[in-house]
Amino acid sequence: MPSLEIIKRRIPLQNRPLHPAPYRGIIITAGDNLRLKEMNLNIKRRLHNIMVTGGAGFIGVNFIRNLLSNRKFSGRIVNVDALTYAGNTMSLPDVPEKHEGRYFFLKADICDTERIYGIMKDFGIDTIINFAAQSHVDRSIINPSDFVGTNIFGTFSLLEAARKSWKPGRGYLFHQVSTDEVYGTLGSEGSFSEASPYSPRSPYSASKASADLLAKAYYHTYGLPVTISNSSNNYGPYQFPEKLVPLMINNMLERKPLPIYGDGKQVRDWIYVEDHVRGIWLILEKGIEGESYNIGGGIEHENIRLVHLLCRLVAEETGAVEKDLRELIIHVKDRPGHDRRYSMDCGKIIRELGWQRMYTLKKGLAKTVKWYIDNTPWVENARSGEYLRWVDENYGNR
Ligand code: NAD
Ligand code: TYD
């Protein structure tokens, strides 16, 4: 069996740095079929004290809930969130008591490197999962500066804190949560793979692409143990109601107009959030440093078709007449630079880490519809204040 110490990393020659950083971790060989198996047996990730940034937002909340119920994880979670309009401690009200001594919440901005460094020291952080971001494309078009600040500078700040805190080769990991939008837009054919070039087209996707590049640069330059996941459009419980799926469900429940941008024939690849967070956990356990992994539902739907399906599911759940809900659909002015189609090739995470999607679109959406119907206090809280201001700003003159 070849020694892992002498095996070389499978990176196409042209992508190898001319002067790679000194070897500080496991190196993997080209073409060795045993490569992943051996690697995975040999990686001793700590995964004891995990800092989850943005853990009061949609995907972070789902990740924390999922991880705390995962029998393979017995460590601590430190949730670091600035509580912007999208962060909500009401999403985790039961968790501090139920998991006393294992779950901590700290209100902090990821751009504050010293604070992050202090938290890392205080809690002995060995793993960072960076969910914190400004995440809404429409907001990035109206106010791009927050996106540059949080998504680019914030990621840089976390990378710096990690570089200062961690000695090489000790089982640490920095995981950057990213999006398929960094790859740009597709025509009617083809899918994005991890080898697709980055070609972002909105301030949001450009800021996420920049953050990914910084993370990759820290891996190559400083040997910081970094992995990246690029996920497609998520839906599920606790999503801030400005995004398509919860916006449509809540508007249907209140018989408000359902605003479709342009012709509604833009295609998105939809994934139920639970499938996404399970993928992230697999990467934390077994993912290879320096690698990116696509995580997508493999379910492509035009927006208009998705909204029709939601009309059916809301009708089934509430007894409303589906046709009445469909009549609420209005076509409004399109988003500038609207990406036409996203599609993800997720072969790598399936083959190499054994990930599988568990939810069909219908099953995931039905669960989501039910969750929004059953959680009116959460929805009412989220749909006050900043949400109302945003609805006015984004839809007022459309
Ligand atoms: P979200 O907007 O619901 O949550 C973001 C969280 O980050 C909020 O709790 C917010 O308070 C926090 N935050 C924002 N700025 C911060 C700062 N400066 N310091 C600390 N905390 C801050 O977003 P989400 O949908 O949960 O997305 C999480 C991550 O996943 C993001 O990085 C996003 O780009 C990525 N992603 C999202 C999707 C999707 O469909 N939602 C798809 C792919 C990738
Ligand atoms: P969104 O949930 O904002 O995610 P993203 O822009 O990151 O893909 O939007 C999903 C799709 O739905 C996108 O093509 C834009 C479209 N959309 C509408 O047609 N109407 C709306 O009111 C919103 C919020 C989105």
**Which pLDDT belongs to residue 168?**
82
Q: Which segments of the chain does DSSP mark as H helices, in order?
A: 35-42, 58-68, 95-98, 113-123, 137-142, 145-147, 155-165, 203-222, 244-253, 273-286, 303-318, 322-326, 347-353, 361-374, 376-382, 386-395
Domain assignment of residue 325, yes or no: no
Ligand nearest to the CA of 88: 1
Least confident piece of the model among 31-35, 183-187, 218-222: 31-35
Q: Which residue has the higher pLDDT, 43 or 61?
A: 61
Residue 368 has pLDDT above 90, yes or no: yes
**Which pLDDT belongs to residue 27?**
38
Looking at every residue in the chain, the average pLDDT score rounds to 91
Domain assignment of residue 141, yes or no: yes
Residue 37 has pLDDT above 80, yes or no: no
Q: Are 211 and 274 in contact (CB under 8 A)?
A: no
Number of domains, the chain:
1
Average pLDDT for 252-260: 98
What are 229's two structure tokens? Answer: 């996941």
pTM exceeds 0.85, yes or no: yes
Q: Is 236 exposed, middle or buried (0-12, 13-18, 19+ CB in 10 A)?
A: buried
Calpha distance 248→384 (Å, rounded):
17
Residue 14 has pLDDT above 90, yes or no: no
- Give me the CATH number covering residue 82: 3.40.50.720
Q: Which residues contact 98 (CB under 8 A, 6 or more apart)?
A: 68
Q: Are 43 and 8 in contact (CB under 8 A)?
A: no
Q: Is 32 exposed, middle or buried (0-12, 13-18, 19+ CB in 10 A)?
A: middle
**Which pLDDT belongs to residue 164?**
97
**Which pLDDT belongs to residue 42?**
57
Atom of ligand 1 minimally distant from the CA of 231:
43
**Which pLDDT belongs to residue 43?**
58
Residue 13 has pLDDT above 90, yes or no: no
**Which pLDDT belongs to residue 397?**
86
Domain assignment of residue 16, yes or no: no
Calpha distance 129→229 (Å, rounded):
10
Average pLDDT for 274-295: 97
Domain assignment of residue 24, yes or no: no
Q: How far is the CA of 348 from the centre of ligand 1 (A)?
A: 24
Q: 224 in the Ramachandran plot: left (φ > 0), alpha (ψ -120 to 50) or beta?
A: beta
> Is 38 part of the annotated catalytic residue set?
no
Domain assignment of residue 218, yes or no: yes
* C-beta of 290 in contact with ligand 1 (< 6 A): no
Q: How far is the CA of 3 from the centre of ligand 2 (A)?
A: 49
Domain assignment of residue 19, yes or no: no
Domain assignment of residue 112, yes or no: yes
Domain assignment of residue 256, yes or no: no
> Is 5 part of the annotated catalytic residue set?
no
What are 1's two structure tokens? Answer: 């069996």
pLDDT in tens, 231-250: 999 999 999 999 999 999 99
Ligand nearest to the CA of 237: 1
**Which pLDDT belongs to residue 333?**
97
Mutate which of 53, 58, 89 for ligand 1 pocket (most atoms within 8 A of beta carbon): 58
- Quote the domain boundaries for residue 194: 43-235+271-298+337-358
pLDDT in tens, 287-315: 999 999 999 999 999 999 999 999 999 99
Phi, psi for residue 220 in degrees, rounded to 5: -70, -40
Phi, psi for residue 383 in degrees, rounded to 5: -95, 25
Atom of ligand 2 minimally distant from the CA of 242:
24
